Amino acid sequence: MGRREKIRDYMEDRFLVEFGEDVTPDTDLFKAGVMDSFGYLQLMDFLESEFDVEISSDEILGNVFVSLATIDDFMAEKIELNA
């Protein structure tokens, strides 16, 4: 299973959402009511443990990642930097 699929599966399980026609990888998950700030922090914790990266407070608060696509892009950069 690839990185994006792992993130998508976590989000679908945690936030009770299904990515498809209504919620796409580019949907703003905050505006769509899928994710709130508490859920966002839980997601960041999951990403740190699942992909063995450290996400700083500045990254979490300074670049709020609102969609599956932006979260996946961010993780691709983090993983590449740690490689």
| DSSP letter (8 states) at residue 2 | -
Q: What are the pLDDT digits (tens) for 44-66?
A: 999 999 999 999 999 888 877 89
- Asked which of 10-14, 59-63, 72-76 is least confident by mean pLDDT, the reply is 59-63
Amino acid code (one letter) for 75: M
Q: State pTM to two decimals.
A: 0.90
3-state helix, strand, coil in the chain (%, to 5): 60, 0, 40
What is the Cβ-side half-sphere exposure of residue 7, based on CA atoms within 13 angstroms? Answer: 22
